[in-house]
């Protein structure tokens, strides 16, 4: 049953409503938009779009997803509520607050919105926290995610990596180990606690660092580094007088099975090539 929007809202031609000039939300799932469009046709738009009055028409403050779905559904009019606000900084803050409350931004979108407010309006982390009624630490922790490589930011956007996992990865300084741990989170479905243990354990000592200690010959350090990148785990090689041992470290049954699977694949490739 189709319902009318609550009283107190305007019904305006959809052509008069333009998307926001800057929206914290960047990703719109096509399937979800299609489902929302079908719901709008059946039930109507129960939550009006929040807009700002412009010289010609209106600009969305919050509700771009609903506007896109309404266009997909072929609606001629949409309900809107008009916010009176001319200050650019306050508009940006309102847009972010509206999206935080209603649109479920992913962690990267939220961090990028924080960063935009800081850069555009010269705010400190503490000042932004005060304006948004947040803890300063929550602002700072969110912004740390922007230091992640693009590959990992994409995984966070798609929710293939949880916020908890992303926070742990953001605290890791070794980029190669960071990417290796991220792959293990995905492949082995590691918990946040298991990820924290890996982060604390750290990557195998790099060739450059080991060179300053003189602990091993260069060819062994290079071999350990290459094996680390191959297996995604710490590998220790000891050799003296042509004899020695190679040790692969693992910290869970799943990790052990992954190492074995890699070895099995290498053996099959070698046999096929022979």
Q: Which residues are catalytically annotated?
A: 64
Q: Can you tell me which residue has the tokens 């946040």?
A: 192
224's tokens? 């350990």
Cβ neighbours of residue 120 under 8 Å, at least 6 residues apart? 89, 92
Contact residues for 46 (Cβ-Cβ < 8 A; gap 6+): 3, 5, 6
Decide if 249 contacts 197 (C-beta within 8 A): no
The total of other beta-carbon atoms located within 10 Å of residue 118's CB is 16
Pair of tokens at residue 10: 């305007």
Q: Is there a contact between 35 and 77 (Cβ–Cβ < 8 Å)?
A: no
CB atoms within 10 A of CB 109: 21
Per DSSP (E only), the strands in the chain are 10-13, 17-18, 49-53, 58-62, 77-83, 235-240, 243-248
Q: In terms of Cα–Cα distance, which of 56, 49, 59 is closest to 11?
A: 49
Q: Are 107 and 145 in contact (CB under 8 A)?
A: yes
Angle at CA 77, nearest 5°, toward 71 and 81? 105
Hunting for tokens 């028409």 — which residue is that?
A: 57
Residue appearing with tokens 């999206």: 99
* Cα of 219 vs its chain's centroid, Å: 38
């Amino acid at each position: 049953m189709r319902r009318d929007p609550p009283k107190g809202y305007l019904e305006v031609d959809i052509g008069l409503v333009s998307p926001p000039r800057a929206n914290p939300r960047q990703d719109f799932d096509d399937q979800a938009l299609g489902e929302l469009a079908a719901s709008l046709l059946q039930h109507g738009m129960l939550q009006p779009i929040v807009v700002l009055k412009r010289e010609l028409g209106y600009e969305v403050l919050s509700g771009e997803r609903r506007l896109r779905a309404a266009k997909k559904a072929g609606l001629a009019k949409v309900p809107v509520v008009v916010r009176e606000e001319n200050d650019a900084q306050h508009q940006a803050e309102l847009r972010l607050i509206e999206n935080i409350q209603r649109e479920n931004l992913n962690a990267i979108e939220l961090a990028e919105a924080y960063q935009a407010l800081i850069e555009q309006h010269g705010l400190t982390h503490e000042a932004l926290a005060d304006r948004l009624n947040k803890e300063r630490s929550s602002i700072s922790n969110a912004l740390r995610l922007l230091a992640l490589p693009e590959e990992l930011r994409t995984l966070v956007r798609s929710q293939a990596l949880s916020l908890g996992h992303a926070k742990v990865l953001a605290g890791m300084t070794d980029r190669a180990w960071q990417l290796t741990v991220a792959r293990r989170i995905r492949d082995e479905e590691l918990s946040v606690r298991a990820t924290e243990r890996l982060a604390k354990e750290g990557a195998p000592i790099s060739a450059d660092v080991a060179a300053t200690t003189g602990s091993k010959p260069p060819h062994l350090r290079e071999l350990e580094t290459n094996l680390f990148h191959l297996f995604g785990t710490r590998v220790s090689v000891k050799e003296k007088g042509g004899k020695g041992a190679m040790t692969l470290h693992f910290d869970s049954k799943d990790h052990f099975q992954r190492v074995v699977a890699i070895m099995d694949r290498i053996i099959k490739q070698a046999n096929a090539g022979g």
